[in-house]
Amino acid sequence: MAKCQQCGEPLGIGARRSTRFCSDRCRFDWWTDYRGRAQHPTVTCACGRQFVRRNAMHAYCSPDCPERPQASLRRENDRLRQALREARAGLDRALGVGA
Ligand SMILES: [Zn+2]
Ligand SMILES: [Zn+2]
């Protein structure tokens, strides 16, 4: 027996052969999904995760994807800041500040 393409519900005996959906609701949902899939293909990010691409500029799976150049810049920034903090603390100790 034919099944609804959207929800998997078996179609009634009286259903026309061209009918692929149990209801207009399911037909509508299916087309919405279909158009969404066609417009926003799923691609694999440089980090290996799959994500839905929304536009040509959308190249990474998420804002905090480890493969994003911005993410590595931020990490580098944090590292430098930490190094600076340590150097500063070392200097303060050497000068006897706060001792
Ligand atoms: Zn259905
Ligand atoms: Zn990613």
Q: Report how far ligand 2's centroid is from the alpha carbon of 48 (Å).
A: 6
Q: Indicate whether 22 and 55 sit together in one domain.
A: no
pTM above 0.75, yes or no: no
Please state the domain count of the chain: 2
Gap between the Cα atoms of 76 and 60, Å rounded:
19
72 and 28 in a single domain? The answer is no
Token representation of residue 98 = 């706060």
What DSSP character marks residue 65? -
Range list of β-strands (E), 1-64:
42-44, 50-52
The Å distance, Cα 75 to ligand 2 centre, comes to 16
Ligand that comes closest to the CA of residue 20:
1
Give residue 98's pLDDT: 59
Three-class DSSP category at 5 = coil
Distance 30 CA to ligand 2 centre (A): 28
Q: Which ligand is nearest to the CA of 69?
A: 2
Each residue of 53-79: pLDDT tens digit? 877 777 889 888 888 887 778 888 999
46 and 29 in one domain?
Answer: no
List beta partners, residue 52.
42
The Å distance, Cα 63 to ligand 2 centre, comes to 8
Query: Which residues span the domain enclosing 77?
Result: 40-95
Backbone phi and psi for residue 31, each to the nearest 5 degrees, phi listed first = -65, -35
Residues 32 and 68 occupy one common structural domain: no
**48 plus 32 within the same structural domain:** no
